Amino acid sequence: DAKTTQPNSMESNEEEPVHLPCNHSTISGTDYIHWYRQLPSQGPEYVIHGLTSNVNNRMASLAIAEDRKSSTLILHRATLRDAAVYYCILRDFFYRKKDSNYQLIWGAGTKLIIKP
């Protein structure tokens, strides 16, 4: 199973951009890169995902290295509400059954601390 490596924690000032790195050197050609975040006392929340090209949505941007061995989640203007644990995850296709879905292999994530 392909694995990801993230820093344990990062700090940023409020209203400044945040770049959260993730290394995934053993990524396979069919692995999507997913980012989820988990606020205190809540279940994880989808942030963004991508395969090869950079992606943007209303929450964040995802920058994927050309060799796909690393990626960066970019929060353009962090607020106190963005303080959470951010998980970088590779989609793991386990055995396919009918029109099967998939599961995600999670690491320990990066705890993002936002300073006012």
- Binding interface with another protein (CB under 8 A): 32, 34, 36, 41-46, 49, 87, 91, 94-95, 97-109
| CB of residue 97 to another protein, shortest distance in Å | 6
- Measured from the CB atom, the residue of 9 and 13 that comes closer to another protein is 9
Residue closer to another protein by CB (options 44, 74) is 44
Q: Distance between CA atoms of 56 and 7, rounded to whole angstroms? A: 23
Pairing of strands 84-92, 33-38: antiparallel
**Three-class secondary structure of residue 50 per DSSP:** strand
Comparing CB distances to another protein, the nearer of 36 and 64 is 36
Structure tokens at 9: 């924690």
Residue 20 Cβ vs another protein, minimum distance, rounded to whole Å: 15
Rounded Cα distance between 114 and 91, Å, is 28
